Amino acid sequence: MSGEPSYLSRPVPPHLRPYVGWLVAYDLDLGAPGVHRGLPSTALTLVIPIGHEIEVGWSGQPATRRRWSALASGLHATPAEIHHDGWQSGVQLSLTLAGASALLGESASDLAHELVDLADVRGAARVPALRHLPERLHGAASWADRLLILESTLTEALVRNDPVDRRPEVGRALAVLTRGVAVGATADEVGWSRRHLGTQVRAASGLAPKEFQRVARFERSHRLLLRGARAGSVSRSEFPFLQDQPVPVRDHGGDGTRAAVRTGRP
């Protein structure tokens, strides 16, 4: 982004907020080739690189490493490895579980533990603007224009796709698990058996309740450490992959689980 900041973000429009956590354009000079970690979280990720393909695979699974012109990934407990030549440029957004079906035409459970080309998601078949989004972003005159194109494409996808209606109890169960409440206590709170809770959480996210809970705890810990790195109270030499990412940082209570965050695995 010549003459612009390394990150350019826009507030998510109100009609997209149930489906998109944040969206950002980035242009980063990282100085030298290396590997960046895509850490587990409770959100799905969509990345569209500009000017180059992005090389990504799951950590410890070299057979999954390949180049992508646009990449969607579901919830996962294994970190992704993003190999770069010293420069990264593109747009990235986080999607809620509801956003998977509303914008990509896929259930979050089908995308769990997967890396998928944007052209291969079901929504791309019925939304030409989504299928051709990488080319449109490449041809845009500015980064601000790219974010506008992204917003308009997501809006069109929202109109053309059929979002999956989720029972209120499922959203409540996920929220309770995210807070770290034990699986059994979560089932009691929503009035389900543990087995039914497991069925519903897997259908919504692709993860078992305990795994979803671990990922949520890991995500909170990472954000706390990121906050500390920005404030100077946490050493970046201890956690070298901590970067100034455009992800909202929230406080949380409890153990920071430094060992888990250091390895990138919940």
Classify residue 223 as left (phi > 0), alpha (psi -120 to 50) or beta: alpha
Residues 127 and 203 in one domain: no
Domain that holds residue 65: 7-160
> Last residue of a domain, which of 126, 160, 194?
160
Low-confidence ranges of the chain (pLDDT < 50): 1-5, 233-263
Whole-number Å distance between alpha carbons of 162 and 176: 27
- Count up the domains in the chain and report the number: 2
Which pLDDT score, from 0 to 100, does residue 220 have? 84
For 192, how many CA atoms within 13 A lie in the half-sphere containing its CB?
20
Which pLDDT score, from 0 to 100, does residue 99 have? 96
Residues 40 and 90 in one domain: yes
Which pLDDT score, from 0 to 100, does residue 232 have? 54
Residues 141 and 23 in one domain: yes
Residues 112 and 241 in one domain: no
Residues 20 and 108 in one domain: yes
Question: Which letter does DSSP use for residue 70 in this model?
Answer: S
Residues 22 and 136 in one domain: yes
Residues 237 and 111 in one domain: no
Provide the edge-to-edge strand list for the sheet that holds 7-9: 7-9, 20-29, 87-95, 44-49, 71-73, 115-117
Identify residue 197 by its one-letter amino acid code: L
Provide the edge-to-edge strand list for the sheet that holds 54-58: 34-38, 80-84, 54-58, 66-68
> Last residue of a domain, which of 160, 185, 213?
160
Which pLDDT score, from 0 to 100, does residue 245 have? 42
Cβ burial, residue 56 (10 Å; 0-12/13-18/19+)? buried
Q: What is the DSSP string of 136-175?
A: HHHT-SSHHHHHHHHHHHHHHHHHHS-PPP--HHHHHHHH
Residues 148 and 29 in one domain: yes
Q: Does a structural domain hold residue 1?
A: no
CB 78 within 8 A of CB 112: no
pLDDT tens digits for range 223-251: 777 665 555 544 444 433 344 343 333 33
pLDDT tens digits for range 124-140: 999 999 999 999 999 99
Which pLDDT score, from 0 to 100, does residue 128 have? 94
Which pLDDT score, from 0 to 100, does residue 266 have? 60
Structure-block tokens of residue 92: 């990235």
Task: Please list the residues that pair with 134 across neighbouring strands.
Answer: none
| Cβ neighbours for 139, distance < 8 A, ≥ 6 positions apart | none
Q: Does a structural domain hold residue 225?
A: yes
Task: Please list the residues that pair with 67 across neighbouring strands.
Answer: 55
CB 100 within 8 A of CB 111: yes
Q: What is the CATH number of the domain that holds 110?
A: 2.60.120.10
Whole-number Å distance between alpha carbons of 48 and 255: 34
CB 23 within 8 A of CB 48: no
Whole-number Å distance between alpha carbons of 33 and 186: 45
Q: What is the CATH number of the domain that holds 248?
A: 1.10.10
pTM: 0.83
Residues 122 and 35 in one domain: yes
